[in-house]
Chain A
């Protein structure tokens, strides 16, 4: 069963021949995959976040111009949707490349870890400004750091424009910043009260503490949240006009004139660094804290082993995290070395993502068109890059096991069966995709099926295929 566990639980499901590849030293097969960066397994050129962002700004300018030129344009759907239109092709290209990479990669453990971190550091494409950028966070901030240090991964993520924009930090302003002083001097001389007061937005600071590092019970207070929000005032995105011009459009840009100057206290420590260094110093400290080690360990163990994470495995992974200073390959190794990882009965119910990617791998097919992928995930209730909240998609069975959800899976499986039935030998498919997990009654059902398409649907919907 070692090969099955390595491929189904730690990988993305078996492609033909993969169970044989993982046989023998299954641990070594896994660890060999987490060396170096983890680029997409397909070479489709995707636009970078700064290019995409520049396109967004251009679309906004164009829209503004058209609205000024004609009143009718303000209600014209084409004009109103201009920004969405500018983003749409990028979103679709990212979603397609992600599915193709999951279907084809020879490093499925690394790919699953990319998905894990992408969900840990979730941004959601249902926020307009993030729509075309969501996949760039995964590709630009997570993939390069997959096998590096957690601190570097964390900094890359928090300084990525998609995260800054998702959690509204770009215009969070320190009360005593240069920009606030200028505004109050100017506005103070006017009769009307200022229409807008400058101040912080604590969204990004709170979620870094609660969701990215310490965890909600990690011992921080509201005062720490507020203080951290002051620390990262100025963490913004380049571009903009007038007084806010600066930086390369679409890239991380530290706006010194928005930054709250001076030392700040966070979790009992005083940070005296200046400018962007202050926030980076806080992130470096957060990345080393025992609460962070434990929080990340718990999430990893829940994702890979069981909904209710066994304490022994969590302890082991947290210890490796602390001892190695967050060296991720050593953290992954501790997970692989935990005996709980190799127990055959603890299996997780697949999320729609798991189900779709493992189906593609089992059938040895890769999607050719973005519509196919986009519609599939809409049907199954997990629109790609759209968890809706910064906490990401839930990672326990209970969140995915509704009866209605099951019926949607049956529907999709029957469509997949009809599409791919030609040339498929269902019993062989069961063997190559499930190995020793395939139950005799499933094989009997496959032999008795009315058509090979129906047999494929039955295999995909079998309890053993629905779990990993």
Chain B
């Protein structure tokens, strides 16, 4: 697309003063973080099959992934866990020492509503209500100064999800192309918005973000999640681009006909794997300083339900991948799938709080200080102790 000149009316210039020259100045060396939210509750027992657990095949039956070495078997991680065969790229990263696999993890939320579960995942509290802002936005305010622009995070969507909402300014940008809008109209709108802070802030943000991806080639990607991932990478690679990006992908709520090594969920996982590869490819030189955290609101039932799917559960899986990640590890204090070990006689029991992972990544990778993390970013999370050694020193 054509480069859009910055042409805002006098009124909006005041509002856009928050976007200083520094946006276009080079500042280097700092870490990059991408958060991928899988909405709908990914079945962790399919994505990270515990093939070595004696109860796995009995409970997950036709949805279970066979042991490594068998036809359509899991991609081995260790003697207990593997990856779903559709996650070939992630497995390659594991072998290369760039992927940590978490299993039996969950947010502190213990009921089974998607929407409350996503709220807890994003608000960083123990309860679905009580905060109108997200933990990643609160962390933004505590990032060490970098001399970068005010907008240090981007939501790769038309609108900003809860995790990034809050006082710190963030931008949003979707991969759907907006062909050039008439410059004169934009200038006049900027003028019309000059008495309305809410509208003028958004317009100047939109104009600025549009400049970042000039020439990035946004149209024509066949796969939506891949398009979103590439857009995130393009934005992050632009001069003065954001250090943090949030990507969302839906379609994980597999109540019926979930499939095993092949089928509906396998296709979704393949799409995710491809998107993560595109993200790494497009980040290119930034990859060594990047960590990508993939999370979902909760896991699914250990047993198959009556319609060859799984219902809402609790413990699940998460991934941390990137050049900055001290990979090649599986982190799972595995409770087992025996009837008596299950939560409420149905779900994988979580043994690790996702907030422990979040805290550690923000501390080791983004250098947010521990006190701020405990008090402001994740208040009331003293039970969720930070881990160590997730990020390369």
Contact = CB atoms under 8 A, between A and B. Distances in A.
Contacts of A172: 306-307
A223 to B, nearest CB: 9
Of B39, B159, B160, B202, the most chain A CB neighbours within 10 A belong to: B159
Contact of A168 (B39, B61, B205, B309): B309
B112 interface: yes
B155 A402 contact: yes
A184 interface: no
A399 B112 contact: no
In the complex, the 6 A-B pairs of residues with the closest C-beta atoms, listed nearest first: A199-B306, A402-B172, A402-B159, A403-B205, A403-B206, A405-B158
A209 to B, nearest CB: 10
Contacts of A461: 189, 192
Interface stretch (B141-149, B175-183, B279-287, B369-377): B175-183
Given A206-B113, A398-B165, 6 more contacts: A200-B306, A206-B311, A379-B176, A389-B39, A401-B159, A404-B157
Given A388-B250, A441-B192, A196 B308 contact: yes
Interface in A90-108: none
Interface in B155-210: 155, 157-160, 165, 171-174, 176, 178-179, 181-182, 184-186, 188-189, 191-193, 195-196, 198-199, 201-203, 205-207, 209-210
A285 B39 CA distance: 32
Contacts of A202: 305, 311-312
A142 interface: no
B93 interface: no
A222 B112 contact: yes
Interface string A396-438: 0011111111111011001000000000000000000000000
B344 interface: yes
B116 interface: yes
Contacts of A196: 62, 308
A206 B255 CA distance: 12
A210 interface: yes
B341 interface: no
Nearest to A221: B111
A199 to B, nearest CB: 3
Of A388, A406, A407, A411, the most chain B CB neighbours within 10 A belong to: A407
Interface in B220-262: 250, 253, 255-256
Interface in A55-74: none
Nearest to B172: A402
A389 B40 contact: yes
Contacts of B155: 402
Given A168-B307, A199-B306, A201-B256, A404 B158 contact: yes
Interface of B: 39-40, 61-62, 111-116, 128, 132, 155, 157-160, 165, 171-174, 176, 178-179, 181-182, 184-186, 188-189, 191-193, 195-196, 198-199, 201-203, 205-207, 209-210, 250, 253, 255-256, 304-309, 311-312, 344
B160 A402 contact: yes
B174 A404 contact: yes
Contacts of B165: 398
Given A168-B255, A216-B111, A411-B178, A197 B158 contact: no
A210 B172 contact: no
Contacts of B308: 196
A402 B305 CA distance: 39
A400 B165 CA distance: 12
Contacts of B202: 401-403, 406
A381 interface: yes
Nearest to A408: B178
Nearest to B203: A406
A449 interface: yes
Contacts of B186: 410
A391 B117 CA distance: 13
A448 B9 CA distance: 14
Contacts of A338: none
Contacts of A167: 255
Contact of B307 (A171, A441, A454): A171
A155 interface: no
A216 B113 contact: yes
B199 A197 contact: no
Given A222-B344, A404-B206, A407-B210, A210 B174 contact: no
A314 interface: no
Contacts of B250: 388-389
Contacts of A200: 305-306
A198 interface: yes
A408 B162 CA distance: 21
Nearest to A169: B307
A411 B179 contact: yes
Contacts of A197: 61, 304, 306
A407 B4 CA distance: 13
A206 B172 contact: no
Given A391-B114, A403-B209, A463 B158 contact: no
A398 B188 CA distance: 25
A449 B128 contact: no
Interface in A315-367: none
A144 to B, nearest CB: 29
Nearest to B115: A391
Interface string A224-235: 010000000000
Contacts of B40: 389
B173 A404 contact: yes
